[in-house]
Structure formats: C-alpha cells, structure tokens
Amino acid sequence: MTRRLLCGLLAGGCLALGLATALVQAGNRDRAARLNEQMEACRMLEGVTRDNATAVLGADWGPLAADPTLLQRALEPRPPRSAPPPRTRTRGAQP
C-alpha cells in the first residue's frame, strides 16, 4: 500500500512538473517573439546612415525635440577615415 501511494505521488509530481514546464516554455516563446521584434526595429534604426537619421526618426516619431547634440551629430559630416598602417609579416620567432 505504501509503495503504491509513493509511486502515485511521484507520478503525479512528474506530471505536474511537466505541465508547469510547458506553461513556462510557452510564456518564454511569447516573450522571445516580442524581444525579437524590438531587436529588429533597433537594427533597422542602427542601419540608417547619419545623413538621413533625423528624417527617418522624424517620420517615425514625429518632429524631433530641439536637442542640439543629437541633431548636430546627425547632420555633421563624417571625418574621412585614415588608411590603416601596412602590416608587416614576420617569419619565425621574434628575438
């Protein structure tokens, strides 16, 4: 009798644990889908070049506030990139 009772409790506990895991997993999938949408939106905003960032953000969010740092940084031309120094290949161990 005791063995059957313990086995029944163990089986019931396993079923309850399995159901709880399935519910948590379903909630995690929903949250992951929402986070993925937000991440894609952030990637799209990051991909915008500095030249038209204010136009894109203004179209999405309405007129931008007069934030001088944001607008100045977006409208300033980028400085030219300097060429990296040539790499010298060494052979063998360094002295």
For residue 76, count CB atoms less than 10 angstroms from its CB and return exposed for 0-12, middle for 13-18, buried for 19 or more.
exposed
Q: What pLDDT does residue 46 have?
A: 67
Task: Say if 87 falls within a structural domain.
Answer: no
Counted domains in the chain: 1
Q: Is the pLDDT of residue 81 over 70?
A: yes
Domain that holds residue 44: 2-57
What is the mean pLDDT of the segment spanning 82-90? 73
* Cα separation, 3 vs 90, whole angstroms: 74
Distance between CA atoms of residues 75 and 72, nearest Å: 5
Please write the tens of the pLDDT for every residue from 30-79: 888 888 888 887 777 666 655 566 676 666 666 656 656 666 666 667 77
Residue 10 has pLDDT above 70, yes or no: yes
- pLDDT of the residue at 58: 66
Query: Which one-letter amino acid corresponds to residue 79?
Result: P
Task: Please report, to the nearest 10 degrees, the dihedral formed by the alpha carbons of residues 26, 29, 34, 35 taken in order.
Answer: 140
What single-letter DSSP state applies at residue 48?
A: S
Spatial distance between the Cα atoms of 15 and 10, rounded to a whole number of angstroms: 9
- Assign 7 a pLDDT band (cuts: 50, 70, 90): very high
The answer to whether residue 49 sits within a structural domain is yes
| Residue 23 in domain | yes
